[in-house]
Amino acid sequence: MIRRAYLLSSSLALGLVAPNLVRFALAPAAVVLAAALLSPRLALAIVLLVGGWWWGSLRLRELDRSALRPLVGTAGIAVLEVKEPPRIGRFDVRVRSTVLRWDGAREHEPVLLELPRGRRPPPPQGARLRVIGTLRAPPDDERDWLRFHGAHVVLCASTVRVLRVRGGLADRLHAWLARASAPGLDGERRAVIEGVVLGEDGGLSDGLRQRFRASGLYHLLAVSGGNVIVVAGGAAGIAFLLGATRLVAELAALGAIGGYVLAVGPQPSVLRAGVVGALGSLAWLTGRQRDRWYALLVAAIALLAWNPYTVRDPGFQLSFAAVAAIFTLAPRIERALEGYPVPKPVAQGVALSTACGAATAPISWWHFHAVPLVTVPANLAAAPVVTPLLALALLAAIVPPAGPLLAQLNGWCAWYLAGCARFFGGLPGAQIRSPAAAAALAAGLLLVASYAWRRAAERAQARLPPARQRPSEDRARGAPAA
């Protein structure tokens, strides 16, 4: 039977997703609630489903509301706040911001701000700007993505003046981590470290960014559960070295997770990893058994309750698909490698890379029309430096006297990681881009999966006692038993 916690959390999550298909209405909601009277066991699940549907519809209605969209094509003076680090392109600088005033009227609406690229450095995260610019409609290829984040217009600025820097806790943590994690480094090595530590690829060249995608290593530039494990484990380890109790060490780990999530920003993979890591830490603190599936469902509910459009975000889909594959496919692949002359760390790396690659390939093709083929060897080659790179960056930030030396050592890790991306991403056929090749790959994966499933069933049958084994093929065909 399905556990009650799974049923209730899944019902709430499904209700939060439902407004993406059909918005809440009283008549169908009443019909669904009436079903609770027919099935008392499912009554609470049905109520949570309808409640999630109602709340999700309210959130989407709020996200779809725009006071600036009717003003597209007009110019004005805006006061806004920068919400994330800017992305520097060839010809302009783009950054998501929130308009606070437009021509003197109070507003609070997300926009995509486009700044001319000049000699001045781009405004930092948390800066409050006074901008003279023109409102424009988003490009067709970005309209849906911006709408899912509550932005409906692009503000093209002609003049920009920084009024002040907000200096909130999240902004200060982000600025500190970006500055202190790689002291003395610049250029490509610093950009790679910032990508692994903060999930930002704005400092990478277009060519290197494309090689990371083609090699299947781009996920390393998005903060994930591995980052949270290093942060939480490092905080707890330092607390234990200082003689702290288990309670203090666990509280330090929770505080480190919260601070890291604030510093990195509200990306789906970051929030998912933070919620799962925090729930795992609380389970350890209270002495209860950790339920990874329940933690994953709670993380999904937290993200969807704030923005039900998140379910359409590629980052959300890739993150949760990869974690589900780690829970389900990776152990089976690792067991299939037992008995072969493969070291255990290599077998684990192959299992993780293969499972995540297979689970995320359909999503990558749907959104980006590209599937990397060299994911497994590329991740095996890059794996030895990923954790040391993150650990050295965090140590450089929290131990400033040793920061320059640690950063120089970390520069070699960043150089090696960029080299892996360039080598594997530059191989011929590293990426599939044609529909025919994608169909052939899918057919091949299905054949391999069916063969592996049959072999696993045969092994399971062979391990059963003779009395419980199924009749042999000869007996099934009517041959006399011996």
Nearest to 207 by CA among 434, 425, 430, 428: 425
The helix/strand count (H/E) of the chain reads as: 17, 8
What pTM value is reported for the model? 0.81
The residue type of 200 is E
Give residue 291's identity as a one-letter amino acid code: D
C-alpha span between 213 and 244 (Å, rounded): 43
Q: What is the residue extent of each domain of the chain? A: 4-64, 69-166, 174-439
Q: What pLDDT sits at residue 456?
A: 61
Using 50 as the pLDDT threshold, list the residues of the chain that sit under it: 1, 472-477, 479-482
Q: Say if CB 264 and CB 270 are below 8 A apart.
A: yes
Asked if the 69-166 domain carries CATH number 2.40.50, the reply is yes
> Distance between CA 133 and CA 124 in Å, rounded?
19
The dihedral sign for the CA sequence 168, 390, 213, 217: negative
Given this model, what pLDDT does residue 482 score? Answer: 38
DSSP annotation of 102: E
Half-sphere exposure in the Cβ direction for 75 (13 Å, CA): 6
Strand partners, 372: 431
* 229-282: pLDDT as tens digits: 788 788 888 888 888 887 788 788 888 888 888 888 776 677 777 777 676 666
Q: What is the 3-state secondary structure (H, E, C) of 437-450?
A: HHHHHHHHHHHHHH
Task: Break the chain down into helix, strand, coil percent, rounded to 5.
Answer: 65, 10, 25
The label of the residue with tokens 């424009």 reads: 136
Which residues are CB-neighbours of 191 under 8 A, at least 6 positions away? 201, 202, 203, 204
